[in-house]
Chain A
Amino acid sequence: MAYELISGCQAAALAAQRAGVDLVAAYPITPQTAIVETLASFEAQGELKGEFVSVESEYSALSYCNGAVAAGARVFTATSSHGLAYMHEMTQWCSGARFPIVMVNVNRTVGAPWVLDPDQGDSLSQRDTGWMQIYCANAQEVFDITLQAFLLSEELLLPTMVVFDGFYISHTYEPVDVPEMEQAREFIGPPQFQAQVVPGIQANLHGLSTGEAQLQLVRKRHEDMLRAPEIFADINNRFEKVFGRGYMPVEAVIPEGAKTAFLAAGSTAETVRWFLPELESCGLIQLRMFRPFPKDELGRIVEEHGLDRLIIVDRNCSTGTGGYFAQETRAALYGLNERPVVQDLLLAGGIDLTEDILAGAAQKSPGDGFVDLQWGVELR
């Protein structure tokens, strides 16, 4: 194993390179810029199999991918924050058209005002667009999962958004095991999907249709996406055999006897994992897959460990409701016989997650001044 000291952005770019993408179309935005620059430098050095195109906007970046993937090309793009928001029409179009596009989103607050901190609201507000979303906790995960995302997307004919935090991951240098090109290429293989646009074959793709046809399409898309945890697990089993590591859609680290667990996605999961020894009888549930939401897997973990309390780390806020992850968790566990208490720890905007905050949140147990929504800033 050869570790390289690279940033999350570089890890994402390397994964796209190793995946042998035919086309990268992208537009720069902080904190995603390093991905664009790294891919451009690969092209400059003749180390990119496909083409890298600097386009005029994020909207065009995704549109560009749209055209190329329709022809059967493996495509990649990356964005962040306002860029993702600007793509909103195209994100839905891509999933509706069943285009297996892989996009990296580096979390950053959506203004106003201009804020660079890694609020997750940019990607979470895209949760209903038909994209699979996987949150990475460190640069190694960024590399591995971005690479795997091509297989996942191509298997399910759905786009995948690989998400990680701005700065905490995007700009932090970590030792990452980057497989050799050949090994990575052998694992991922050539594009595994049929082109929709094939010259000489008449096909009127994604034009006018009916509500009833859309019902069938939405249903199929939903049912296909529900297969994602299983496919993701399969891919990781194979990945593990080759590279010696693998991931699950949800993972738990629950110390013996612990009845409380933090649920976190992205770099916050890594932070919680770091402080676990300091937090008495608290566990961690790391949520990687957010779409589809791994409801069954989460329920199994809760029941298996008899957890009675979950503290959800939400570096986001859906104004008027609270954190996205907390909402989703509550909804997912509603069917359990023994429902745990779900407490929402809000870090919206993007303050650092410190030991104080974690400890403070853990202390606020039911009957001890419990509130179901706790602003992290009050616990510092």
Chain B
Amino acid sequence: MSDKTEQAVYEYACGTEPSSLNKTGGWRLAAPEKAKRLSPCCKDCLLHSEVPDWMEAVKGGRWEEAWQIMSRTNPFPALTGHVCFSPCIENCNRGRLDQELDIPTIERAIGEWRFENYQPRKGPRKIKDPVAVVGSGPAGLSCAFYLAAEGYKVTVFERSPIIGGMLALGIPEYRLPRDILTKELAILEEEGVSFVTSRALGKDMQLPELASEFREIFLATGAWLPREENIPGADKKGVYHALDFLSMINTREHPEIEDPVVVIGGGNAAVDSARCALRLNGVNHVSLVYRRSRAEMPAHPPEVEAAELEGVELIFNANPAEIKAEAASGQVESVTFNYSKTNREGLIVDKSSTFKKDCGSVILALGQEPDYSVFNNLDREMAIFAGGDLVSGPATVPEAIRGGRLEAMNIAAKMEGRSGPEVPGFSEQPVGFEELNLLARPDLELQDRQKEPGPEAGRCLGCGTCNSCGVCYLFCPDVAVDWLNNSYELNLDYCKGCGICVVECPARALALEGGY
């Protein structure tokens, strides 16, 4: 009856089709886009790890993706999660809100996820040219990892019978459970890396010999030579150099340590030695003596605190003058110290003020340096690569890993006839707490650290990186933000370029391109 009338009403006076047929993106004068900015954690990370990105993946339970992001800069998160002193959390903006994000725990979790989920590559692999890596410390292993990932045949030479360098010999087990290194090495072997142990460069083999067998050589022999300080009596029985002492502990060789123990030095090796010594049977008293003040200690403060808590006696502003031994046995019996302090000129030692510390053993941790003799026989024509402590002097595990990675890229680039990677400079200021627009997040609550990695990663504020908080989606008047492939994506078909998302983005991870 009135069908036609109804039709007319519907045709001319009633809209029934979605307005999304109207592509309002054409109105736009400026377009928002994801624009990553530097986060404090990434800036402070010695590996320049893209922390907010893998946090985001962990939050979403996307562990494979987290590993992929992580391994772009750090192939051994399980290791670094234990041994790194985590400068990343020092300026974590979440700390301004409630508590810094527990970055190392999640870092470790990613590494452990990989241990459990590692699948050897299937099928035949095209093996590229052979590369020799000398030294199996973090720099060497890192270089081996990245070269192997590129398909190169990597052989790692280690002078000791044990693989791992500083990771195996220098770092005490309480700081790095040994099975982690074992698992990392097993995966490296699956990835095609060969290990040759008990082969020392300069002793068991020479550079020219390596050069004839391998297309490229990477030297990462570390910094193992104790720094000589000429302390009278340093050659007495019962005096150990820290790295020798730590190596013995780590290889279960039992050093002959008599109680009480005096450790001389203020670096991490000193603290590690003191804590290891205290763990030995028969040792009841360990003193750590440092010539400068506590504040000047190069050791990582939490490690010093841990040592103190365990009962290590800390003595500061005391410079060793002489180590005395028992005449009959030649065994050390005491160390004499002078009062010392630093001023503008450097260390001032007051020889008039002395004190004596009786002891059964002395561990000297006065620093170590690279053994440059590895460069002997280096032909002028021969081009080799080097990294890790050998180049930088004593540094940290993450720095060595970073060096190994960069050199792996340089080596690959050279072999493939292209220029090496550009290393990003971090001159940019990281996103500060005040910049974050946390007011915009209706879901944000003060929260303690969470036990599970997912919820803990969910606490990440994503400074400068989209952390899928959804504020752009929430505040878009044009419904032009979609949840696609696990992230919020701007739909420029409809975005009118109002810029609300850019202004409101709590993480400061959007920018308006084009301007008005």
Contact = CB atoms under 8 A, between A and B. Distances in A.
Interface of A: 96-98, 155-157, 192-194, 196, 202-207, 209, 213-214, 216-217, 220, 224
Contacts of B2: 155-157, 193, 224
Contacts of B1: 155, 192
A196 B9 contact: yes
A204 B11 contact: no
A96 B12 CA distance: 11
Interface string B157-168: 000000000000
Contacts of B15: 203-204, 207
Contacts of A213: 11-13
Given A216-B12, A217-B8, A217-B12, 8 more contacts: A97-B13, A157-B9, A192-B1, A203-B15, A206-B13, A214-B12, A216-B8, A217-B13
Contacts of A98: 5, 9, 13
B5 A156 contact: yes
B14 interface: yes
B253 interface: no
B13 A205 contact: yes
B329 interface: no
A204 B5 contact: no
A216 B16 CA distance: 18
A203 B9 CA distance: 11
A202 B19 CA distance: 11
Contacts of B8: 216-217, 220
Contacts of A206: 13-14
Interface string B1-27: 110111011111111101000000000
B16 A204 contact: yes
A204 B12 contact: no
Contacts, number: 51
A224 B14 contact: no
A344 to B, nearest CB: 36
Interface residues of B, number: 15
5 contacts: A196-B14, A203-B14, A203-B15, A206-B13, A206-B14
A194 B13 contact: no
A314 B10 CA distance: 40
Interface of B: 1-2, 4-6, 8-16, 18
B5 A209 contact: no
A67 to B, nearest CB: 16
Nearest to A206: B13
A216 B11 contact: yes
Contacts of A224: 2, 5
Contacts of A156: 2, 5
A98 B11 CA distance: 13
A204 to B, nearest CB: 3
Contacts of B4: 220
A70 to B, nearest CB: 11
Contacts of B18: 202
B6 to A, nearest CB: 6
A330 B237 CA distance: 137
Contacts of A155: 1-2
A207 B10 CA distance: 12
Contacts of B12: 209, 213-214, 216-217
Contacts of B11: 213, 216
Contacts of A194: 6
Nearest to B1: A155
Contacts of A217: 8-9, 12-13
A202 B16 CA distance: 6
B490 to A, nearest CB: 26
Nearest to A201: B16
Nearest to B10: A203
Contacts of A193: 2
Given A156-B2, A157-B2, A204 B9 contact: no
Contacts of B16: 202-204
B437 to A, nearest CB: 35
A224 B7 CA distance: 13
Contacts of A205: 13-14
A205 B10 CA distance: 8
B3 to A, nearest CB: 9
Contacts of A209: 12-13
A314 to B, nearest CB: 33
Contacts of B10: 203
A216 B5 CA distance: 11
B21 to A, nearest CB: 13
Nearest to A219: B8
A220 B4 CA distance: 9
A204 B11 CA distance: 11
B44 to A, nearest CB: 52
A220 B5 contact: yes
A207 B16 CA distance: 12
A203 B11 CA distance: 11
Contacts of A214: 12
B1 to A, nearest CB: 6
B465 to A, nearest CB: 38
Contacts of A216: 8, 11-12
Contacts of A220: 4-5, 8
A157 B13 contact: no
A318 B447 CA distance: 78
Contacts of B13: 96-98, 205-206, 209, 213, 217
B36 to A, nearest CB: 39
A217 B5 CA distance: 9
A155 B6 CA distance: 11
A155 B9 CA distance: 15
A203 B8 CA distance: 14
A70 B373 CA distance: 95
Contacts of B5: 98, 156-157, 220, 224
